[in-house]
Structure 1
């Protein structure tokens, strides 16, 4: 039997200043930067295979990867703080560790991909190499799996999600003059 205070612990921030206040964690908003940058980089990679002068797309893709790596590092810092709030020895903690490990592996893969791209330059008439494109695609697929685990943490285990009694405020009927009943 799970004691009621155990799930409550995972809902509270370790540091509201650093990880976001109760009910408003920073991690979900920060992850949009690497996800968006890395999805766009893959679109640029694919487009570089079909346009006449693909150099600008290859160059842009590399910089989107770099932006994603920087964004992932910022998201990892606050995500790590959220992991500290989860009681150890629980399925939620195990899921959080796997989520973190996948994200670190994906970030390392993209950092290596960026370095690989920097070593080759950006000829105007060459698209992204097939190896680099494959590395980006596999990394993005792993990121999708990690995102699934992050969703499980939030939506199944309620990590950093407000308690139902707090959520209920949003479902009370609004009475006269906009007041809640």
Structure 2
């Protein structure tokens, strides 16, 4: 039973939407919001260092929107991956915490966007409250990313099974290699 449930979590619920076996779309899509939101934090900090920070605060607002759109797309595919994980398992509980943290981060960035919207026009640096919200959001995102890594690398969710992985370690000539 345990072996069957582990194999179930490796297969996509819908390959056309979630990505084919061994090539899930979720890890690809999460790079957009992660990159956007980490860059926002850098821009928010830099807006307190440069002489005319308006371009940084304006860019941060745009990057929040890009990150939220990317995160919603990643979440939709992530939901499909969640459906492949058997309920009641440690992997499922980890996936639920991962999902909850990500939804909280998306909500925090929506709030951050609404809080900032249109304020960059004065050319001032990002307010301390908005900067703190960005820093907290990136911190929670990091915790969630750690859990996502645990799902893939420890529990093998949506990762090809070991017998499939061995083809990457078989020499091209077909000979068996022994460890040195």
Coarse TM-score class (shorter-chain normalised): over 0.9
CA distance, structure 2, for counterparts of residue 44 and residue 121 of structure 1: 13
SS of equivalent residue, structure 2 residue 158: coil
Counterpart for residue 161 of structure 1: 159
Deviations 1:53-95 (A, max 9, x none): 1111000011111100000000000000000000000000000
Structure 1 CA distance for aligned equivalents of residues 87 and 101 of structure 2: 19
Partner in structure 1 of residue 129 of structure 2: 131
Q: What is the number of equivalent residue pairs in this alignment?
A: 175
2:121 aligned with 1:122, yes or no? yes
Matches of 1:33 and 1:135, distance apart in 2: 19
Q: Deviation at 1:174?
A: 1.7
Moved over 6 A (4+): none
Partner residue in 2 for 1:149 = 147
Return 5+ residue gaps in structure 1 as ranges.
none
Q: What's 2:33 paired with? A: 34
**Equivalent residue, structure 2, for 1:112:** 111
Matched residue, 1:71: 70
Q: TM-score, normalised on structure 2?
A: 0.95
* Residues 30 and 74 in structure 2, CA contact (< 8 A), matched pair in contact too: yes
Q: Unaligned stretches of 5+ in structure 2?
A: 176-180
Partners of 2:35 and 2:120 in 1: CA distance? 24
Q: Verify the 8 A CA contact 2:18 2:26 in the aligned structure 1.
A: yes
**Stretch moving more, 113-122 or 84-93:** 113-122
How big is each residue's C-alpha offset from its partner over 1:93-137, in whole Å with a ceiling of 9 and x where there is no partner? Answer: 00000000000000000011001000534312x100000000000
